Structure 1
Amino acid sequence: MTDPATTTAIRVHLPTHLRKLAHIDGELTLDVPGAATLGGVLDVLEDHYPVLKGTIRHHGTDKRRAFVRFFACEEDLSHEPHDTPLPEPVVRGTEPLLIIGAMAGG
């Protein structure tokens, strides 16, 4: 069990349009308290960059927006619950969590 007083540095890569909206250059690192989960990363991201609230998850429900996907270690985490622990390489900082704008059309 993870000590809630500890934090984990998680590397996050956002799509270009969200980086521009939040005035972020390149990849960022977030200190996530407690267990490193998908929802924990998103909570910290939205706390640090309030302009992103509602762009990745719906207000109120916290459900992922339809055209946003989450990947880590070549694994699609988009349909996983928010309390899903992140893969060990992401927790160790050797791999980033990728937040990607899904492509649609034909």
Structure 2
Amino acid sequence: MKLFRKIDLITGNFIEDVIFESHPTVLDAEGNTVLDAQYVEEAPKQGFYLPRWNGTEWVEGGEPSPIPEPTTPPLSTDEKLTQMAEQLIITQTELEVVQEALDFLLLGGM
């Protein structure tokens, strides 16, 4: 019994592992018995995400996911400090409003 890899004849992509006594054969156009090209005895290298047979060897058939480009350039230190200062002012203003509301509620509107 031998382990073969079944491939898609159009794309070369790996389909499944199969076990046969010997390499499967088919008849060609002249009626001669030839090895079935859909079965490959060579094992793909470890680590391939989508193994693909190119006719002579296994290659990586998957497309790596593109790394998205940053939409905006990173901020300089001065720009970061300016943003943080603006956010601090907004937060401080919100806290003052909350403090006034609490004083109103606790002191009964005075």
Which TM bucket (shorter chain)?
under 0.3
Higher Cα radius of gyration: 2
- When normalised by structure 1's length, the TM-score is 0.24
Which structure would you say has the larger RCO, counting Cα contacts within 8 Å and 6 or more residues apart? 1
The TM-score normalised by the length of structure 2 is 0.23
